[in-house]
Amino acid sequence: MAAASIKPASVRVGRTPRRKAAGSGPASLFYYAPKGRVHRAPVLMVYAMVNKPFVLDLLPGLSVVERFRDAGHPVYLVDWGTARPQDASRPLEDYVLGDLGHFMDVIAARHPGKKPTVFGYCEGGLFSLLYAAARPKTIARLILLATPVDFSKMGTLCTWSQKGQFDVDLLVRAFGNVPGSFLWSAFETLKPLSSLRGNLGFLDALYQKKLSEGQIEQFLALEAWKREFVPHPGEVFRRVVKDFYQDNKFMKSKDLKRSRFRGPALVIYGERDHLVPPAAAEAALGLLGRRAESIAFKAGHVGLSVSGRAHRELWPKVLKWLSNKEATDGLA
């Protein structure tokens, strides 16, 4: 297929073979069978509610799911689905302890004797931290990718969401579930010219025939993922804004200030992440105790999971860390 023949409609994300393992309300748990003869401990991946989770499985060769699967891990991925009108009032606990709790029970039943690693990305990392604090004994290891913890360091988002400036109760009453397009527009506004520059650069390079077929496909796949908005459950959004953006509970709450999870943990953040700045993510080390380690990588928020450089340099390092921890636990 010639590079110029690739069309947005022909680019499909989330191609790694999978099957549905469980469901809970609109949420689904998908299973990716490991490759090779050595089957390591399972990994549960938890993404945010703003978009579909396929940024973790963008394209063959640019898929975090594929990396873990090829290393021998049974991989499970949470897709929160599309929030229904009745989900607007569901409390945060229903998702963290209800849906995630159910999925963890399913994984435990399918892999007896092998506690899973929980891998949370962005808001999914926030949910993973809350789950780990409530049920630490069900988790073997914790990986946090671009996860905000100290919300006072969230830059412009912190400023916008301050008490007295942002009436989240009014927003949720007006919308019920918050439209994904509304949230994505807010994120785009943080760097208003970034997308425009990216699009113009892509079109210029395309016109000058400087792009390979793979580069065109990668750009269009990422654009397709960005535009697959889903509504964010209203009450969960309200709680995230009030409890974390406004009250910064990970830093101030006695119950959350020191998570009860004390197993091996890896905190990964992007040095160029404008959405979750390094200082906001690195604060997780103070919650998780002396067995927590960190990796700072020169990438932005999305580039951590989809850039070719991240797949060449970051993810082999993460998988080596996980393999070493499993060897220590006698699971390798």
The string of pLDDT tens digits covering residues 37-61 is 777 999 999 999 988 999 999 999 9
Q: What is the pLDDT of residue 4?
A: 44
Binned at pLDDT 50, 70 and 90, residue 109 comes out as: very high
Does residue 224 register a pLDDT over 90? no
Q: Are 139 and 115 within 8 A, CB to CB?
A: yes
- The C-alpha atoms of residue 205 and residue 233 are separated, in whole angstroms, by 39
**Contact predicate 282/267, CB 8 Å:** yes
Tokens at 191, concatenated: 């760097």
Other CB atoms closer than 10 Å to residue 150's CB: what's the count? Answer: 20
Strands, E assignment, 100-205 = 117-121, 141-145
Say yes or no to pLDDT of 7 above 60. Answer: no
Is residue 330 pLDDT above 70, yes or no? no
CA 89 – CA 20 distance, rounded (Å): 26
323, pLDDT greater than 60:
yes
Question: CA 69 to CA 73: how far, in whole Å?
Answer: 5
Q: Is residue 142 classed as helix, strand or coil in its secondary structure?
A: strand
Q: Tell me if 65 sits within 8 A of 45, measured CB to CB.
A: yes
Q: Are 48 and 123 in contact (CB under 8 A)?
A: yes
d(CA 5, CA 141): 44
Indicate the length of the chain as a whole number: 332
Which helix (H) or strand (E) covers residue 293, if one does? Answer: strand 292-297
Q: Does the pLDDT of residue 3 top 60, yes or no?
A: no
Q: Provide the whole-model pTM.
A: 0.92
- What is the crossing angle of helices 123-134 and 100-110, to 10°? 70
pLDDT in the model for residue 122: 97
Q: What angle do CA 107, 111, 116 make, to 5 degrees?
A: 60
Identify the band that residue 8 occupies on the pLDDT scale cut at 50, 70 and 90. Answer: low
Q: Are 114 and 330 in contact (CB under 8 A)?
A: no
Residue 1 has pLDDT above 50, yes or no: no
Per-domain boundaries in the chain: 10-329
Residue 196 banded pLDDT, cuts 50, 70, 90: low
Where does 2-83 show beta strands of DSSP type E?
Answer: 19-24, 27-32, 43-46, 57-59, 62-63, 75-79
76: nearest Cα among 96, 53, 51: 53
What average pLDDT does the segment 178-186 reach? 87
Residue 142 has pLDDT above 90, yes or no: yes
In this prediction, residues 199-228 reach a mean pLDDT of: 78
Instruction: Give 327 or 86, the one with higher predicted confidence.
Output: 86
Residue 267's beta-bridge partner residues?
144, 294
> 310 is written with which tokens?
């991240």
Contact yes or no for 130/96 (Cβ under 8 A): yes
What are residue 22's DSSP bridge partners?
29
Confidence grade of residue 2 (pLDDT, cut at 50, 70, 90): very low
pLDDT at 146 over 80: yes
Reading the block at residue 112, the tokens are 């007896």
Structure-token pair, residue 246: 């406004």
Averaged pLDDT score across all residues of the chain: 90
Which residue, 21, 157, 37, 25, is CA-closest to 84? Answer: 25
pLDDT digit string (tens) for 248-285? 999 998 777 777 899 999 999 999 999 999 999 999 99
**Angstrom distance (rounded) from CA 77 to CA 79:** 6
Q: What is the model's pLDDT at position 331?
A: 55
Q: In this structure, which amino acid lies at residue 244?
A: F
In the CATH hierarchy, which fold is given to the domain comprising 10-329?
Answer: Rossmann fold (3.40.50)
| Over residues 170-184, mean pLDDT | 92
